[in-house]
Chains A and B, each alone.
Chain A
Amino acid sequence: MKKRTLLSGLLLSTVLAVPVAAQDNMDKLTNMQKTGATFTHIEQEGDRAEALRDIIQHIDVPDGFEVSLYAVVPDARSMSMAPQGTVLFAGTRKDKVWSIIDRDRNRVADEVKDFAPSITFDIPNGPCFSPDGFLYIAERNRILVFPAAEFFFESPDIAVGTVVAQGELIPPEEESFNHSARVCDIGPDGMLYVSLGQPYNVQPAEKLEMYDELGIGGIIRMNTDGTGREVYTRGVRNSVGQDFSPETGELWWTDNQVDGMGDDIPPGELNRQTEAGQHFGFPWTNARVEIPDYKDVPRPEGVSFVEPQLELTAHAADLGMRFYHDESFPEKYHGGIFWAQHGSWNRTTPVGARVMFTALDPETGDAMGAEVFADGWLNEDTGEYRGRPMDIEFLPDGSMLVSDDFAGAIWRIAYNPAPAE
């Protein structure tokens, strides 16, 4: 035992001697100093782009729609379009956020480079803009804000502020790699809404109270300066897609459900939240399916669980979603919701890797039923993925962008009906 202590002591002293390359530049940037950081540019032509364009022939979309490659973007995850429509920002589950620029507005990106390379990011999955142009980036355990990011992204050293400091979004002991891809949105109330997946398949009962208090396995909201944090949504397993209805201001979100109960249960979920604090059932239930681990754990008193709007194909992994509030798609899509199904990881027969759509009932505002909008990223003969759609965003012309973290691409789907003969 003594030998081991000595040994690790020696090892540690050598660790400490390693020059620290990954120094966080937050202090320098806050003081408007230069850091010497440089950009990583992603080649937009060549073999990689050609290989991606070869995938397009496999993608099925409804009549009149057309698929193209918008940009080559490694690991592209959640997206946010800047208010002026010049730059698209995409997060990753690694250490980069990408700026994707289409200066000539020909609907193909001209330039893709990393955003704020001076900053050491940690799973910066979720970018989101406020209407006045502040870019928020939700990481695994920190939230940063970049004022006027759409204009300042050209500098590697960029003005930055801290909304939630490192280690204060969740307790550092609760950090994991899985279920740590945050998404964020600014609500109609001007508050910042952030999803916090719980890190387990099903969380152990002894974590319930702490998680409930912090909103882990939920969605939290706060003022954009980080004050006034509260749990807005309870009973979530791991939501990686949310958007506010432009009609009602209600928050809708997707959820990913428990593994290991079989290929066909529990269903995926699309949820509609009508008031603050609602509980959606997890870990007691996923939709109407009871979770066996929680059969004997008392449910929260005086709480009724909100059922999902739609029960979706089990394990298809419903992720990023957006309301369609543009004009260029046909009427049936106006006001409806598009979302990405990332595809299953351990279902016997793989399912997903497609873009889904639901219209909303004009009377009740409820979702009317899921239909496939675009698919073909899953090779059904071999069960292998060609790509895995992760999030949906829209260009100023109303055409759709689909991020794909497997192929490393952003696809564009536009409505271009053939002219009448």
Chain B
Amino acid sequence: MKTVVRINPALCIRCRGEYNLCGLSYCPILAELRTKYTLRQVKGKSEVDGSSPPSIFVGRIGYPRVNVYPATPPMHGDTRRLEDPRTWLSMELEDFLSSRLSLVRGSVKAKVYDAKDPPRLLHEIQIMALSEGPVDSELRFEKPVSGRYVIDEHSPPFGPSSPLKELRLATLPPPPRIIDKVYSDSDLNASDAMWTLYSSGIDVHQISKLLSVGVLGVIRRRRLVPTRWSITAVDKQVSDKLLDHVRDYPLINEYRVYVRKIRDNTFIGILAPHTWLYEWAEAWWPGSTWNLWGGDVVIELDYEGYWGRDDYPSIGGCYYAARIAALEALSSIRRQAAVILWREIYPGFNLPIGVWWVRENVRAMFKGPYEKFNNIQDALNYVSRFLKIPISTWISRSYVIRRLMKQQGITNWLGR
């Protein structure tokens, strides 16, 4: 695809294919990508038979009347890695994409409020989502599979779809006990349900799937939640709970610097001995996913002080995906810190693959080695070696560094 349209890259970075900020009726960034990956083996089929991990996608178009899509790859066996972000991290991006795009979806129209008292088909989809998996499934379609793939900033990719005529499920592996328990508890609110699942070791990826099919929460308030909203909702709610605990922990004793370089991305994490402050910044190179036509690197940054923030960060879901990873790291060492997270994205990385990419990379980074420093200046000198943007630019944009270096304590005036 050749383009002569020049779009302000700041628009694309804020839009990420969601809001048509550029004014075109389609997102040229996504359009180009979609044509790249064709799926010959499933295209044109009117039924698919395979083991679903289980996978379900909930669309957002037409909300509150949405499409729910149970999905399966056309193969049998243990397909659960298709729903395991930890595995995705170690896959080549091309393999990850093609395996996810093999998840063929059958669409079912539903009102989001149907979740609390579902019609038979929606009920079966919910039961499928609750199962530990894999679930042997047969999807029969009204017409041959075609339609759009899902390539999205928030959700991991999904394959093409067709309206579902019939869903046949073989005997299901039962849900893990804790999942069955919160599903059956009609008085447990969604936020407590998420926390119960999380504390029992269920990953946020799976919790967001459960939230999206409307099986969590006080029964009369259960509803379907579009997949992309459910992902950020879970990252936010769980990390808020983690933060409640982290605020009670003592400060770390030193400055810690973490670095992770992977596939044209550099992630930097700095933990500073200060009460909770947090920032997430992304620097998009011209030619990277959300800055395809720009001439300059564009930095977007969002932050919060000790008390968190009430409004949605302009940068979107990545903010919370990185925040939960940072708070998990602090929880695991039972320490409090101010957290700086920066990411540089170079031109070779031009795929939107979902916020899991940020969450899993930041998690992996904090599990890896770190360097210790006694002051912020030394920490920044060290960091500058790994970044392509001059450290002075990063410093001038950083909220947390300004607070660390410039903010004085009131105790200086208490005469002790």
Do the two shown chains form a genuine complex with each other?
Answer: no
